[in-house]
């Protein structure tokens, strides 16, 4: 157990992160006994395909499948979770991981370290963290920025909330999946930073779509308009990397050029805007633009369900459908 890692949640992000972690740990072990790697997902096929894809490529590797988060917790002293959002984190930790840790820690003093990389509600995450710590285990929140491309390339940014000591302990593990590892403060601070960042991103993607659409109605060439914005004061990631208009970024291939496939789903952006909205309400912090952008993402999902799983830059397609010119 002490030499093993369990990865729970092999979705669009988790599968790629788990692969980087597993393959780099394997290389680091350099023939001196590959560390155990345990995968677990509610969709059994995801864990099975991870196991069959990589067991063959890495001879002597010890990949096993846990059929439940309890099994994954029993198997390893390092546990990483990458789940959709608050309800799943709450149920996986409260119903499975925490009761199992309680039993394990009663029987042995072996240390367990949990890393939750899900983007979820800060208050729920702090509650879960304090219940994990009550069992004697340690936990950090380490949500990520960089999307599926960054997960695949191992270039994610990890925004970490937890003690200095836990941050230092997590760094070598996170470095196998990402490039920038930032300590944002105590428990929940990583999530706070992630939610604020995505609030900016969610608003910016809407306004870039508005500007590109306005430019179109004025007869401007999208590539020229994008070049102007990207080299001027309006420049931002939503325009220079994730521009929503096909061929506005020569030499790049943003999701809009793949029919908005393979990016950050509109439904996930709505979830993150909802997290910002909830926390802003609790703290009495004003969010006029954030609320307006959240409403737009909610309308997209209601009125254009075909865009719910597409990249959130498809807000451009939604607004184009609303336009009369
Ligand atoms: P996803 O829905 O593709 O993956 C979630 C996985 O968790 C799925 O495979 C699902 O089967 C599994 N799961 C759900 N409930 C479970 C349970 N009870 N036990 C075990 N497994 C369970 O989501 P994703 O795109 O991989 O995103 C994961 C998290 O990362 C989200 O919080 C998201 O907001 C955040 N995030 C995503 C991106 C992105 O571009 N996709 C970027 C940054 C952050």
Give the model's pLDDT for residue 221.
Answer: 98
> Atom of ligand 1 at shortest distance to CA of 14?
26
Task: Let me know whether 43 and 161 are in one domain.
Answer: yes
Catalytically active residues are 194
Contact 80, 174 (CB under 8 A): no
Nearest CA to ligand 1 atom 19: 42
Contact residues of ligand 1, CB 6 A cut-off: 8-14, 40-43, 46, 69, 82-85, 88, 92, 118-119, 144, 147-148, 264, 268
Mean pLDDT, all residues of the chain = 94
Question: Total structural domains in the chain?
Answer: 2
Residues 163 and 225 in one domain: no
* Same domain, residue pair 29 and 151: yes
**pLDDT score recorded for residue 153:** 95
Residue 70 belongs to domain spanning: 4-186
β-pairing verdict for 113-116 and 36-40: unpaired
Å from CA of 40 to ligand 1 middle: 12
| Cα 268 to ligand 1 centre (Å) | 10
Q: Ligand 1 test: best mutation among 6, 9, 15, most atoms within 8 Å of CB?
A: 9
Please say whether the beta carbons of 110 and 83 come within 8 A: no
Give me ligand 1 centre to Cα 14, in Å: 7
CB 256 within 8 A of CB 311: yes
Same-domain pairing of 315 and 215: yes
106 Cα: distance to centroid of ligand 1 (angstroms): 31
Same domain, yes or no: 275 and 128: no
Q: Are residues 27 and 141 in the same domain?
A: yes
Question: pLDDT for 90-103, tens place per residue?
Answer: 999 999 999 999 99
Number of the ligand 1 atom closest to the C-alpha atom of 119:
32
Please give the model's pTM, rounded to 2 decimal places. Answer: 0.92
Q: How far away, in angstroms, is 85 Cα from ligand 1 center?
A: 7
| pLDDT computed for residue 3 by the predictor | 83
- Answer with the one of 129, 156, 186 that is the final residue of a domain: 186
Question: What's 48's domain CATH number?
Answer: 3.40.50.720
- Picking from 155, 186, 217, the residue at the C-terminal end of a domain is 186
Share of the chain above pLDDT 70, in %: 98
Give pLDDT tens digits for 236-264.
999 999 999 999 999 999 999 999 998 89
Report how far residue 124's alpha carbon sits from residue 3's, in angstroms, rounded to the nearest whole number. Answer: 30
pLDDT value, residue 262: 80
Please choose from 18, 38, 84 the residue to mutate so as to test ligand 1's pocket, defined by most ligand atoms within 8 A of CB.
84
Atom of ligand 1 nearest to the CA of 92: 18
Are residues 64 and 202 located together in one domain of the fold? Answer: no
Residue 72, pLDDT score: 98
- Distance (angstroms) between ligand 1 centre and the Cα of 135 equals 26
Ligand 1 atom 16, closest CA: 42
Query: CA 228, CA 307: separation in Å to the nearest integer?
Result: 28
Examine the domain organization and report whether 10 and 129 are in the same domain. Answer: yes
If asked whether residues 147 and 199 sit together in one domain, one would say no
pLDDT of 58: 86
Atom 22 of ligand 1, residue of closest alpha carbon = 42
pLDDT value at residue 324: 61
* Cα distance between residue 188 and residue 203, in whole Å: 23
232 and 296 in a single domain? The answer is yes
User: Which stretches of the chain drop beneath a pLDDT of 70?
Assistant: 31-33, 323-325
Q: Which of 186, 217, 238 is the last residue of a domain?
A: 186
For residues 150 and 108, membership in a common domain is answered with: yes
pLDDT in tens, 38-93: 999 999 999 999 999 998 888 878 899 999 999 999 999 999 999 999 999 999 99
């Amino acid at each position: 157990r002490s030499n093993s890692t369990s990865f729970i949640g092999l979705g669009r992000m988790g599968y790629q992160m788990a692969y980087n972690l597993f393959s780099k740990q394997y290389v680091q072990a350099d023939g001196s006994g590959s560390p155990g790697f345990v995968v677990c997902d509610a969709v059994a096929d995801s864990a099975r395909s991870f196991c069959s894809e990589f067991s063959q490529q890495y001879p002597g590797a010890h990949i096993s499948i846990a059929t439940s988060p309890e099994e994954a917790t029993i198997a390893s002293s390092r546990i990483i979770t990458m789940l959709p959002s608050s309800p799943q984190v709450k149920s996986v930790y409260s119903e499975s991981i925490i009761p199992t840790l309680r039993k394990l820690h009663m029987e042995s003093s072996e240390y367990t370290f949990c890393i939750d990389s899900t983007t979820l509600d800060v208050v729920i995450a702090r509650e879960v963290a304090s219940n994990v710590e009550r069992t004697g285990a340690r936990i950090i929140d380490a949500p990520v920025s960089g999307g599926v491309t960054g997960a695949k390339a191992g270039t994610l940014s990890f925004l970490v909330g937890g003690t200095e000591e836990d941050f230092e302990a997590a760094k070598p593990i996170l470095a196998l999946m990402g490039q920038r590892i930032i300590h944002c403060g105590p428990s929940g601070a990583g999530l706070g930073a992630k939610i604020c960042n995505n609030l900016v991103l969610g608003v910016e993607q809407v306004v870039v779509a508005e500007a590109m659409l306005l430019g179109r109605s004025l007869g401007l060439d999208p590539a020229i308009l994008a070049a102007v914005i990207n080299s001027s004061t309006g420049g931002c990631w939503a325009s220079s990397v994730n521009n929503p208009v096909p061929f506005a970024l020569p030499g790049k291939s943003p999701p809009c050029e793949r029919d908005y496939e393979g990016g950050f789903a509109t439904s996930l952006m709505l979830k993150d805007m909802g997290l910002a909205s909830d926390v802003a309400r609790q703290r009495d912090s004003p969010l006029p633009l954030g609320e307006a952008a959240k409403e737009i993402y909610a309308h997209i999902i209601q009125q254009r369900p075909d865009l719910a799983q597409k990249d959130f830059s498809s807000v451009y397609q939604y607004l184009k459908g609303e336009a009369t010119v």
